[in-house]
Chains A and B, each alone.
Chain A
Amino acid sequence: MEDVTVTGGVRTAPAPAADARRPVRRRPPLVVRLRPWLLLAAPLAVIAALLLYPIGRVTYLSFQRYGLKEIISGHPTYVGLDNYREALSGSYLWHTVLPNTVLFALVAVGGTVVFGTLVALLLQHLGPKSRAAVIASALVAWALPAVTGTYVWVWIFDPDSGLVRRLLQDLGLLGPNGYNWFTDRLSFYGIAELNVIHHSYPFVAITVFAGLTTVPQELHEAARLDGASAWQRFWNVTVPVLRPVFAVVTVLSTIWDFKVFTQIYLMPGGAGSNPDVLNLGVWSYMKAINQNQYGLGAAIAVLLTVVLLAITAVYLRVLFKEDEIR
């Protein structure tokens, strides 16, 4: 509440000052008032044409039957909620796609945030040299492109000649026939989790570490004098001070992990040949682009978008609370 009144006061303050300087002109001329819109015209046009219009069109498509036949004739038929009915009915969505999407995201977000925070806490206790080494290596992992990173993990777990198979066989833990980790849903997603956590924890670690340096040292010392253990100090001093950082990091990770596509699609079977491992994004892509059922694919895509917009609403709330949108 206090914040709001303070910024409100600041915002109104320049107006009388400007008036005092130029008492004649009450209202700025039209050119001046239009200036922000002149500047915004080009960027907003690009956003409208390539992001907003397509989102409208995909929603429109989701109410149509739009396949190869309709592409050729150019006359799609309106089918109402049929596509949604098809996507939502049956057990495939509820037993396979949705658990794949939601459970994957939950584990990935939890893993990323917890591991990233642990690394940030470790960084705080390291000397300058090892700290620089860990930060540099985290940057390299962050920079490793999703496409190449996925191929590396696929290579490590390759069923024929991959490192894990050979090592396990050398240790006598795996029979001569090996094992295909990519056919089983659980191990498939286990590998995907490794890939995604490896790729996204550096963002959390570096962000939380930057936040940790802002926690006043006196708070920690006071807590220590009161006999608080390191664990208690983390939960009662660090976490409350860094709550906005954790909120932003968690919400952004959730959004990113819900729409993970490349890392699933590029794994063996992830591009459709193994129906057990599809998530919402890949399923929608399969239906629309690979099977030419654009209407059905669009309906699934709209469902995914609705989920993401709901999470974005939480994000916006956090930002408004932190007075970040000004």
Chain B
Amino acid sequence: MTARSSARARAGKFTATALVLLFTLFPVYFMLSTAFNGRAGSGTDSLFPSHFTMRHFSKALSSGASGGFGRYMLNSAIVTVIVVVASGVLALLGAVAMARFRFRLRTTVLVLILVVQMLPAEALVIPLFLQMKDLRMLNSLLGLAIVYTAFALPFAIWNLRGFVAAVPVELEEAAYLDGCSWWRMFRSILLPLVVPGLIATSAFAFVLAWEEFTFALTFLSDQGRMTVGVGLAEFLGQNTNDWGGLMAASTLVTIPVVVVFVLAQRRLTVGLVAGAVK
């Protein structure tokens, strides 16, 4: 009786696991199989590809008719580096202030940081577009990086705050007793201990800047300045779609994000729920 029910339970578990894996991985599998398929003509051809090829990748990366995806990746990389560094530095300052000091309006600032996180990009894109237009920064990668930094900042502060708070105050006091100045303590004690938090924050900023779509779509019109989020659309033509090229380029966009996610996974999830799971 129990043996049979446990066998049935095992079969059920196996089926459920298989279905979850199928649904979860199928789009990724299909992207890869199309990208490496020598005959990416129709969907069924790509389901079980027979001719392995790197052609779609080399074609996408060479600057040709569909316009050098390598250039877009470089642009995205530039923007991403600026955003990761800028948001990391700014968030660290803000997080130390929020985690280490009790001051008037502290709760107000905290609520403000939470609320601005929720503002929709669709509402901010209209005034920021007009603003950047006035400043003649519409096709500037720096302009894009500044906007992304602002978008990454609230969550980055919120996330990093928890990591700073986790550093025992006693360590700081010990440094003061040894005659350290606040700045010295910050550099030698606090900063090294919040590096894990900085990694999680950087991962979040990286993903945001690397794959952002709405602002890139609105700000960039110059082909040479496009980032990957908008550059992908070039593989879709009026009449013909280059699915092989689109999936190859999509694969190139996805790989760095997957790497960053796997590296920072545990810290990222901890930050997102920020102590709701205690």
Contacts and interface: CB of A to CB of B under 8 A. Distances in A.
A145 B43 contact: no
Contacts of A55: 119, 123-124, 127
A198 B23 contact: yes
Interface in A289-326: 289, 294, 297-298, 301-302, 304-305, 308-309, 311-312, 315-316, 319, 322, 324-325
Which of A54, A211, A308 counts the most B-chain CB atoms under 10 A from its CB? A54
A91 B153 CA distance: 39
B247 interface: yes
Contact of A261 (B17, B121, B146): B121
A255 B118 CA distance: 7
A244 interface: yes
Interface string A174-217: 00000000000000000000000010001100110011001000
Contacts of A152: 27-28, 30-31, 247, 250
Interface of A: 11, 33, 35-37, 39-40, 42-44, 46-47, 49-55, 57-58, 61, 71, 119, 122, 125-126, 130, 133-134, 136-149, 151-153, 155-156, 158, 161-167, 170, 198, 202-203, 206-207, 210-211, 214, 244-245, 248-249, 252, 255, 258-259, 261-262, 265-266, 280-282, 284-285, 288-289, 294, 297-298, 301-302, 304-305, 308-309, 311-312, 315-316, 319, 322, 324-325
12 contacts: A49-B150, A51-B154, A58-B124, A126-B13, A139-B261, A143-B254, A147-B211, A148-B253, A152-B28, A167-B44, A214-B278, A312-B115
Closest 9 CB pairs of A and B: A163-B43, A50-B150, A145-B211, A301-B123, A148-B250, A39-B97, A36-B101, A161-B42, A43-B94
Given A58-B126, A206-B269, A316 B111 contact: yes
B273 A47 contact: no
Contacts of A138: 24
A122 B20 contact: yes
A122 B153 contact: no
B93 interface: yes
A50 B143 CA distance: 11
Interface in B92-108: 93-94, 96-98, 100-103, 106-107
B116 A39 contact: no
Interface string B244-278: 00110010011001101110010001001111111
Contacts of B274: 324
Nearest to A15: B102
A43 B90 contact: yes
Given A55-B124, A143-B257, A304-B123, 13 more contacts: A36-B100, A43-B157, A58-B123, A134-B17, A140-B24, A141-B27, A147-B229, A152-B247, A161-B41, A248-B273, A261-B121, A294-B126, A302-B123
A84 to B, nearest CB: 14
Interface stretch (B50-58, B60-68, B128-136, B192-200): B128-136
A143 B258 contact: yes
A142 B261 contact: yes
Interface string B145-189: 011011101100100000000000000000000000010000000
Interface of B: 13, 16-17, 20-21, 23-25, 27-28, 30-31, 34, 41-44, 46-47, 90-91, 93-94, 96-98, 100-103, 106-107, 109-116, 118-131, 146-147, 149-151, 153-154, 157, 182, 207, 210-211, 213-214, 217-218, 228-229, 232-233, 241, 243, 246-247, 250, 253-254, 257-258, 260-262, 265, 269, 272-278
Nearest to A170: B44
Given A166-B42, A214-B277, A262-B213, A155 B123 contact: no
A119 to B, nearest CB: 6
B213 A289 contact: no
B211 A245 contact: no
Which of B102, B123, B131, B228 counts the most A-chain CB atoms under 10 A from its CB? B123
Contact of B277 (A53, A151, A245): A245
Contact of B43 (A125, A151, A161): A161
B272 A244 contact: no
Contacts of A54: 123-124, 127-128, 131
A122 B14 CA distance: 10
A140 B24 CA distance: 8
Nearest to B117: A312
A34 B121 CA distance: 33
A178 B129 CA distance: 41
Which of B28, B246, B260 counts the most A-chain CB atoms under 10 A from its CB? B28
A39 B272 CA distance: 24
A137 B24 contact: yes
Given A122-B17, A142-B261, A316-B114, A163 B30 contact: yes
Contacts of A71: 130
B232 A312 contact: no
A166 B46 CA distance: 11
A36 B97 contact: yes
Given A255-B118, A304-B120, A153 B27 contact: yes
